[in-house]
Amino acid sequence: MHELGIVVEVVKQVEELAKHNNVDKVIELTIEVGEVSGVIKEYFEDAFKWFIKKSEYMKECKLVYVPIQGISYCEDCKNTYPTTKYGKECPKCHSPHTYLVSGQEVLIKDIKVQNKEN
């Protein structure tokens, strides 16, 4: 459900960029989404498809959704491991002193824009 809130924020930021760069339209948007960010790809894509209809520059924008693996770091044995498989506890030394290094982000990576030639 909160995918919509994130889509609104993403579209707002891209629209501002498009305006600032004086482009005619944005034809592609690449976002990187962490697998422990709480975002569900299908919901995000649906909300995106619906919401860009209301946009000025992104009506025909294609969405490229790149999932990013959740990786945790163990402060005790200095190893990294996949977060979704093992959770908070380090699978090597069983320490709980671990923290997430990637996988929580929702990042606007880049946009492809199009300008009519004058």
Partner 1 sequence: MEDIKTIIVNRSAYANNDLEADLLRDYLFDHRTFLINVMSSPGAGKTTTLIKLINALKDTFKIGVMEADIDSDVDAINVAKETGVKSIQLHTSGMCHLDAGMTKTGLDEIGANDLDLVFLENVGNLVCPAEFDTGATMDMVILSIPEGDDKPLKYPLIFQKCDLVLINKIDTKQYFDFDFDKCNEMIHYRNPNATVINISALTGENINLVKDYLVKRIREWR
List residues binding partner 1 (CB under 8 A): 1-2, 4-6, 9-10, 12-14, 17, 21, 27, 31, 38, 88, 96, 105-117
C-alpha of 105 from chain center? 6
C-alpha of 79 from chain center? 25
What distance in Å separates the CA atoms of residue 103 and residue 63, rounded to the nearest whole number? 19
What distance in Å separates the CA atoms of residue 90 and residue 74, rounded to the nearest whole number? 6
- Shortest Cβ distance from residue 106 to partner 1 (Å)? 4
Amino acid letter, 78: K
- Shortest Cβ distance from residue 77 to partner 1 (Å)? 18
Q: 88 or 94: whose CB is closer to partner 1? A: 88
Q: 77 or 108: whose CB is closer to partner 1? A: 108
